[in-house]
């Protein structure tokens, strides 16, 4: 009986938190901040991806891994410090760059995997205090600069890996394992006391950013050690955040503050628990002289917006050089983001995901914010429509006012709103570089109509297996293959129905096209479309083969769009479009998508 009540209680908790903001008090500032700076800087910065003329030994060219990858001796590695120009190095410049870029926090590699501390650590000889004269303490300098400029300070601390300590973990120990007891010596004599130093001597620490990407059950570090570390943080700085790469699962310990996605992994679903993507501007985290994979400002800005539109944060990395300089390519992009945020920051800081499906609109992403007078939606227009008309689908309320966020006067944009459909008239020139933001104000939080297919920029409806009205999760969608030359599709071997819900704002005739691949020559397979009280029947035809890639014997099934005819939508309103794919016995139709316009 007791067990049963516990089960009900946990189910109740589960359902009652579902869909609700699960940000704890500590993490509120973080969820509001949305955008932060990551700094990978250490001895490796002066190697610039090369050791004695040899490039880093791994195609995953992370410059900060050179110690391990190129099998460098611990003492010889320190000779890299000879290239540091201490007169030039000024962490305040990084903080100023963060501030100008619109970032609200800075997280630096206090100790990366090489085990070298960027402060004067009393419990290790492998840190800046021992190798600079006069002594430098980068953590202190950065902490002071953050305080001065009003940014939060985060410290990256490599807890699991430490390549310098005899009992720290490096992957060669997979060949010559060390005992749990020896590993615990490293933990008790380096990790715990260093963490104590960092949490005691530098004022308020906003977050400790751990880095461990496998479960502790497959690693040398134990759950008890991880708990000890987390408890120490809670004891010394109760407001300090801890990320999920500490290595405990949320089931084991729900008391972590935010999830960390994979490196450069952007969000793809709305989450109610705070989360963050760590990202690089090129590929490497530490400075690498031959890394040229610079992402554009547009890509980086859209990554930030994407994450905020799903309740996530974006922490973008700089890898300064050994003289403290931040590569021009990084500065340029970050400053451009800062300029954009200067105008449009209201749609990012303190903004949240809106309830509509993340891919509903083809023009961009939506964030929202509660205000004193109601609710604002921020429509981030990635692609300014040629028609100068912006279609917002799925919101069941009449806006109070619509304007461009870049327009200080808030001059109203003309709009027309019917039921769940709002058509906004845009000026012919988009006001901002990269992305412009249209603000839609409502009196209260508007209701939404879920499951709709939005009218796209061309004025049609793209009906795909992904945006069906019902049983979306049950849909067996074959992923695209062969470099995308074979598109996403559903293999239909027995009669199958698909349905979509649309809102028609412009009554009249609309034509329907269906795209599929069919390789049999036998007749009698059909596709039927039912809408607006009418139906169209199409005899499925062989679509033949095509060449996917030139000169490489790349022959693939052809997917072809077929015109089926027209429906007459007599009135404005909601309609269900139903498609029935009916293959003849023993045949398969590969259904791709439908188009209604
Ligand atoms: O191995 C590290 C890497 O050097 C870098 O610090 C990144 C940042 O997220 N974390 C690890 C790999 O995931």
Q: For ligand 1, atom 9, which residue shows the shortest CA distance?
A: 263
Give pLDDT tens digits along the chain (597 positions): 344 443 344 433 433 444 678 999 999 999 999 999 999 999 999 999 999 999 999 999 999 999 999 999 999 999 999 999 999 999 999 999 999 999 999 999 999 999 999 999 999 999 999 999 999 999 999 999 999 999 999 999 999 999 999 999 999 999 999 999 999 999 999 999 999 999 999 999 999 999 999 999 999 999 999 999 999 999 999 999 999 999 998 788 899 999 999 999 999 999 999 999 999 999 999 999 999 999 999 999 999 999 999 999 999 999 999 999 999 999 999 999 999 999 999 999 999 999 999 999 999 999 999 999 899 999 999 999 999 999 999 999 999 999 999 999 999 999 999 999 999 999 999 999 999 999 999 999 999 999 999 999 999 999 999 999 988 788 899 999 999 999 999 999 999 999 999 999 999 999 999 999 999 988 899 999 999 999 999 999 999 999 999 988 999 999 999 999 999 999 999 999 999 999 999 999 999 999 999
- CA-nearest residue for atom 12, ligand 1, is 263
Bridge partner list, 531: 534
User: How many whole angstroms from 331 Cα to the centroid of ligand 1?
Assistant: 21
Task: Tell me the two tokens of residue 375.
Answer: 């609710």
In this predicted structure, what is the pLDDT of residue 19? Answer: 63
CA pair distance 142, 206, nearest whole angstrom: 13
- Cβ proximity of 528 and 537 under 8 Å: yes
Q: Which of 435, 378, 373 is nearest to 403 (CA)?
A: 378
Which residue's entry shows tokens 């990202």? 279
The first and second tokens of residue 239, run together, are 């407001």
Rounded Cα distance, 143 and 198, in Å: 11
State residue 294 phi and psi, 5-degree precision.
-65, 125
Q: What is the pTM of this model?
A: 0.94
Q: Is 498 in the pocket of ligand 1 (CB under 6 A)?
A: no
User: Can you give the C-alpha Rg of the chain in angstroms?
Assistant: 28
pLDDT of residue 470: 85
Cβ of residue 61 lying under 6 Å from some atom of ligand 1: no
Residue whose CB lies within 8 A of the most ligand 1 atoms, among 42, 263, 264, for a mutation test: 263
Q: Tally DSSP H helices, then E strands, for the chain.
A: 12, 30
Ligand 1 near 42 CB (within 6 A): no
3-state helix, strand, coil in the chain (%, to 5): 25, 30, 45
For residue 563, give the H/E element and its range: strand 560-569
Which residue has 């806006």 as its token pair? 399
The length of the chain in residues reads: 597
CB 427 within 8 A of CB 388: yes
In angstroms, the Cα distances linking 373 to 172, 370, 395, 443, 445 are: 60, 8, 18, 6, 10
| 476-495 burial: b if 16+ Cβ within 10 Å, else e | eeeeeeeeeebbebbebeee
Please give the number of the atom of ligand 1 that sits closest to the Cα of 38. 8
């Amino acid at each position: 009986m007791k067990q049963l009540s516990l089960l009900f209680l946990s189910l109740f908790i589960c359902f009652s938190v579902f869909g609700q903001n699960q940000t704890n008090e500590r993490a509120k500032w973080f969820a509001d901040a949305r955008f932060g700076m990551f700094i990978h800087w250490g001895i490796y910065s002066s190697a610039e991806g090369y050791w004695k003329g040899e490039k880093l030994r791994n195609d995953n060219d992370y410059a900060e891994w050179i110690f391990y990858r190129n099998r460098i001796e611990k003492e010889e590695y320190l000779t890299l410090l000879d290239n540091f120009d201490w007169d030039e190095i000024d962490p305040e410049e990084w903080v100023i760059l963060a501030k100008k870029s619109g970032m609200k926090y800075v997280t630096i590699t206090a100790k990366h995997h090489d085990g070298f501390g960027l402060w004067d650590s009393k419990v290790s000889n492998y840190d800046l205090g021992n190798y600079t004269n006069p002594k430098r303490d980068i953590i202190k300098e950065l902490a002071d600069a953050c305080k001065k400029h009003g940014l939060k300070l985060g410290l990256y601390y490599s807890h699991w890996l430490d390549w310098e300590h005899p009992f720290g973990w490096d992957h060669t120990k997979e060949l010559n394992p060390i005992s749990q007891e020896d590993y615990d010596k490293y933990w008790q004599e380096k990790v715990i006391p260093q963490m104590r130093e960092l949490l005691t001597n530098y004022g308020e620490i906003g977050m400790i950013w751990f880095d461990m990407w496998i479960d502790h059950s497959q690693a040398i570090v134990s759950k008890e050690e991880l708990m000890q570390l987390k408890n120490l943080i809670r004891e010394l700085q109760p407001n300090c955040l801890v990320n999920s790469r500490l290595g405990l699962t949320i089931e084991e310990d729900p008391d972590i503050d935010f999830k960390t996605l994979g490196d450069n992994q952007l969000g793809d679903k709305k989450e109610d628990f705070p989360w963050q993507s760590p990202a690089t501007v090129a590929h490497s985290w530490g400075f690498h002289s031959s890394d040229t994979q610079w992402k554009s400002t547009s890509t980086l800005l859209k990554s930030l917006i994407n994450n905020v539109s799903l309740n996530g944060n974006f922490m973008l990395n700089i890898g300064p050089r050994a003289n403290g300089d931040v590569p021009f390519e990084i500065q340029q992009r970050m400053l451009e983001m800062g300029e954009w945020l200067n105008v449009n920051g209201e749609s990012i800081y303190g903004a949240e995901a809106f309830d509509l499906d993340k891919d509903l609109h083809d023009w961009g992403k939506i964030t929202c914010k509660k205000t004193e007078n109601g609710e604002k939606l921020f429509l981030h227009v990635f692609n300014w429509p040629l028609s100068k008309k912006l279609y917002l689908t799925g919101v069941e309320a009449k806006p109070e006012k619509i304007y461009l966020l870049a327009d200080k006067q808030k001059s109203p944009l003309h709009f027309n709103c019917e039921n769940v459909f709002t058509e906004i008239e845009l000026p012919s020139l988009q006001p901002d570089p990269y992305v412009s933001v249209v603000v839609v104000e409502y009196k209260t939080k508007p209701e939404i109509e879920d499951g709709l297919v939005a009218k796209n920029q061309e004025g049609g409806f793209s009906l795909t297996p992904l945006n069906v009205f019902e049983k979306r999760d049950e849909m067996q969608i074959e992923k695209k293959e062969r470099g995308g030359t074979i598109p996403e599709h559903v293999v239909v071997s027995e009669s199958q129905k698909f349905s979509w819900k649309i809102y028609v704002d412009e009554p009249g005739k609309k034509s329907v096209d269906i795209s599929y691949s069919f390789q049999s020559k036998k007749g009698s397979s059909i596709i039927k479309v039912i809408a607006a009280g009418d139906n169209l029947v199409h005899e499925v035809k062989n679509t033949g083969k095509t060449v996917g890639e030139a000169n490489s014997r790349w022959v693939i099934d052809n997917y072809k769009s077929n015109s089926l005819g027209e429906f007459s939508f007599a009135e404005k309103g909601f309609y269900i479009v139903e498609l029935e794919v009916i293959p003849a016995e023993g045949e398969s139709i590969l259904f791709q998508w439908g188009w209604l316009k």
